[in-house]
A and B are shown apart, each in its own frame.
Chain A
Amino acid sequence: MLKIKNLHAGIDGKEILKGISLSINPGEMHAIMGRNGSGKSTLANVISGKPNYEVFSGEVLFNGENLLDLSPEARSLAGIFMSFQYPVVIPGVNNTYFLKAALNAQLKHHGKEELDAIDFLELIREKIKLLEMDEKYLQRAVNDGFSGGEKKRNEMLQMVMLEPTLAILDETDSGLDIDALKIVANGVNNYRNSERSFLVITHYQRLLKYIVPDLVHVLIDGRIVKSGGKELALTLEEKGYSWLEK
């Protein structure tokens, strides 16, 4: 599904990713772990197409298509979703209105009929129940006045509405208390299937107790220095990162 080959990328001319190769198959859950500054978020931003990030060499294929040629919206419509580490506050834009516009963009792209206000509300009410979100967040401006945890739940709400085939969760656990973490993890687990893949980016092993990865990759200074099964996360929890550094 996603194939990254020897990716060198960065920002402002500075190389941050120094040769990443990674292959994610349908239905797999991958975790990327690493310290702050190791390049985890850069990887997420490059995959989702954030402007200002530069790719120096290497390639990223998504279902065989060169992802790097696509605009951010085309990547989204192709089935990629990123849950932001810092979801953006958009004053004045109603959350429901935004979600409806986003969902209808997907439906339109796939040649399906767009939802009217009533069908949309029915769908979204069902989804927010799963995430145990208060309906009042639908009426507010996007992420405006939301706590850290509420912002992350709003990201998850967008994910379950847009139904991507690859979801990148960038530090989704940060800012969540343990109850919220369980709810979010539960949402992700219910949402797993044989077609849908995940790339979970995290600093701590905490989230991976609830979302069990198939593969764990350790990122240090822009390189994947070790990959392994779910037990690698536990080893990192115990021993930290230093034993992997040269």
Chain B
Amino acid sequence: MAKKKTLNNDDIDEKKRLELYNSQYLIRFAEQRAYDLFLENLVKGTSHLSLGQEAIAAGFATAMQVNDKSFCTYRGHAHTLARGASVVGVLGELMQRDCGLMRGKGGSMHLTDTSKGVMGSYAIIGAHLPMAVGSAWRAQYMGHDDVATVFFGDGTTNIGAFHEALNYAVVYKLPVIFVCENNNYMEYTPIESITAVKNPAADRASAYGLESIIIDGNDADEVYRTAQVAYSKARSGDGPSLIECKTYRQSGHSRADPGAYRPDGELDHWKKNNDPITRYRARLIEFGVKQKVIDGIEANVKRVVDEATEEAKNSPVPPEEILTTNVYANGGWAWRN
């Protein structure tokens, strides 16, 4: 990358940078809120947070068109929020309330908001990669200009669907972006200890004739720039990209995981020296953004999340009559006459 840029000669203008910061800060604050609500026993079931990984969701979503499609994993709160889904809808779903995006029928691992292009969050590793490929096939087939982006973790690179989807996407030159969030751990196990190659996604790229792309996933600018190139390539009919984003999960794998397997000091090191929010805040200051503008963004996010929390807390649980709705397209569940 070019040496230090100023606001005047930079390819990312201040407006875009503030969007990127707002998005990252919203994800950070909402995820922390989700954690707090879990401690209050208001978030039920399980949840998988993206604390420390915010720059990837923010960078890609900011580079997307409105009609682009996102396919997420069970660690999908960040990507759903980054597309502009309602915070009440997200927190409400985590709290399994009637105001949730799916009225409590999906839960934390299946956040979906098709009105924002979030085509679902999937909890079986690898399944959504072929689905994103299918969305891209539809775009190519019908002459639409949207691109499908599929986000997944490093652990996904060792499952068959990853390889089937990549081969398929390359063979038919489909407009789909595969984004690997390499946060160092496959659940509780260090990814390098169970993967044949050092870079679990990027080192597989050549097997599918793709460029090996590794980026700093904790730098929202780098993510945003890389995403722009990939979207431009996909929209020009030049096919898929596979991008490995190096990052670090600051929370456990799920709410049940305190992260005891981490070497001493590792978490502190990442939090102190390579936190995406801290880094981006410093960059904004460096580029001359006034502290009060940053404070304003943060205060606004806090207000939005606080209000959403209250609204979700006050929302009723889903009515029992929706138990049997939307099993089939006729709205019901009847399997016999």
Decide if A and B are genuine partners: no
Binding site for A on B (CB under 8 A): none
Q: Enumerate chain A interface residues (CB-CB to B < 8 A).
A: none
